[in-house]
Amino acid sequence: MYRKFYGLRDLPFSLTPDPRFLYFTASHREVMANLQYGIEQGKGLVVVTGEVGTGKTTLLRAIIRQFDSSVLASYVFNPGLTVAEFYEQLASDFNLGPAGSRADLLRRLGELLTTRHTNGLRTVLIVDEAQGLSRELLEEVRLLLNFETHTEKQLQIVLVGQPELRRVLNSPDLRQLKQRISLRSEVRPLQTDEVSAYIRSRLNVAGAERLDIFAPEATGLIYRFSEGIPRLVNNLCDNALLTGYALDAKRITAAIIADTAESLDLVSSLHGNEFQREKIETAKVKGRSRRKRDQRAIETAQFKVISGPVDDEEDLKTG
Ligand SMILES: Nc1ncnc2c1ncn2[C@@H]1O[C@H](COP(=O)(O)OP(=O)(O)O)[C@@H](O)[C@H]1O
Ligand SMILES: [Mg+2]
């Protein structure tokens, strides 16, 4: 709905982990390089952690997209699987035939890994949301790392999860697994000066005619509310564009962001920080008179969001 108004081809701030939109901050670049290096060099176990919404899944999708035909990958994103279900998925992703017994399956997997390794081909197991893996599955992961030659691992395993994953891997009963981690990295939130570049980059991928839709003070405020978490930045920006559209505002101002953050309940998280609250209050006062006048327009727009399925469908398509 606001696409035409802002001259956009696609929705720039969808919440799906679409790798087309990936913007490389120093942290995202480092994690990507770690993953590529670990997989290419046969490093075995690679662990990536990061807060919710920092871009872990998006990075994984980007790297899977980059794999050529020499890489065979299994992507597990449901850590609640039982051991049997886990092996069923492996058997299916690695074309091992019917799962059968665990011992039989491991034998076939071993054969596959040896053949592939001899031919210079890589085999990768990627587990997303790995902080939720059961102890039994973590033990299986450790056993799978035993497929190795004298110099290299035959199966590369990537565990990706929330910071909780670090705590899990630090527990005394998992020290054997912990010792096998060869590379670790962390996806960090956007830094204050990265938010503006991030927003412009996403606008650009969405085919924007103008990249200065968000005023500099607006991006400053977006950083404060989101604390640099990309998912929150997206949510704020998407809602702000909607409000801006309702207000007929070609430029998203700090006042619009303050308003939007309040409606998304992002303001409460800043309680206690006087400086931030003061800035937000100033931005709100500036926008207040215009807000009153345009309150009805905003309500109409919000009604459109709730009742309009069109953009949701597009979200799913990009996912
Ligand atoms: N570096 C980035 N560049 C572009 N978009 C990003 C980046 N990091 C995160 N996002 C976006 O933020 C949202 C949340 O990312 P996601 O990968 O689902 O996070 P996580 O898996 O860490 O919870 C997605 O819409 C994603 O596209
Ligand atoms: Mg994720």
pTM of the model: 0.85
Is residue 276 over pLDDT 60? no
Torsion over CA: 75, 80, 81, 86 (sign)? positive
Ligand 1 atom closest to 52 (CA): 23
DSSP-H helix ranges across 152-273: 164-169, 175-179, 192-205, 216-226, 230-246, 254-263
Amino acid identity at 125: L
SS3 for 255-295, per residue?
HHHHHHHHHCCCCHHHCCCHHHHHHHHHHHHHHHHHHHHHH
> Tokens 């991928």 correspond to what residue?
205
Whose CA is closest to atom 13 on ligand 1?
Answer: 231
pLDDT at 267: 80
pLDDT at 300: 53
Mean pLDDT of the chain: 88
> Tokens 């003070």 correspond to what residue?
217
- Cβ of 189 closer than 6 Å to ligand 1, yes or no, is no
pLDDT digits (tens, 9 = 90+) for 227-243: 999 999 999 999 999 99
- Cβ of 231 closer than 6 Å to ligand 1, yes or no, is yes
pLDDT digits (tens, 9 = 90+) for 87-144: 999 999 999 988 789 999 999 999 999 999 999 999 999 999 999 999 999 999 999 9
pLDDT tier, 311 (very low <50, low <70, confident <90, very high otherwise): very low
By DSSP bridging, strand 122-127 and strand 71-76 are: parallel
DSSP-H helix ranges across 98-186: 102-118, 135-144, 164-169, 175-179
pLDDT digits (tens, 9 = 90+) for 185-211: 999 999 999 999 999 999 999 999 999
Mutate to test the pocket of ligand 1, among 78, 231, 316 (most ligand atoms within 8 A of CB): 231
Q: Closest ligand to 61 CA?
A: 1
Q: Closest ligand to 201 CA?
A: 1
pLDDT at 262: 93
Percentage of residues in the chain with pLDDT exceeding 70?
84
Average pLDDT over residues 59-81: 95
Number of CB atoms found within 10 A of residue 128's CB: 20
Name which of 202, 217, 250, 209 is nearest 15 in CA terms. Answer: 202
pLDDT digits (tens, 9 = 90+) for 42-55: 999 999 999 999 99
Q: Identify whether the C-beta of residue 241 lies closer than 8 Å to the C-beta of residue 203.
A: no
- Cβ of 22 closer than 6 Å to ligand 1, yes or no, is yes
- Cβ of 188 closer than 6 Å to ligand 1, yes or no, is no
Contacts of residues 37-43 at CB distance under 8 Å and 24 or more positions apart, as own/partner, are: 37/183, 38/156, 38/158, 38/182, 38/183, 39/63, 39/71, 39/122, 39/124, 39/156, 39/158, 40/122, 41/152, 42/122, 42/151, 42/152, 42/153, 42/154, 42/156, 43/153, 43/156, 43/182, 43/183
Is residue 19 over pLDDT 60? yes
Ligand 1 atom closest to 21 (CA): 4
Backbone angles phi and psi of 21, in degrees to 5: -90, 0
pLDDT at 283: 61
Backbone angles phi and psi of 46, in degrees to 5: -120, 135
Whose CA is closest to atom 5 on ligand 1?
Answer: 22
CA of 75 to the centre of ligand 2 (A): 12
Name which of 61, 51, 187, 64 is nearest 131 in CA terms. Answer: 51
Average pLDDT over residues 139-166: 94
Domains identified in the chain and CATH numbers:
41-187 (3.40.50.300), 190-314 (no CATH)
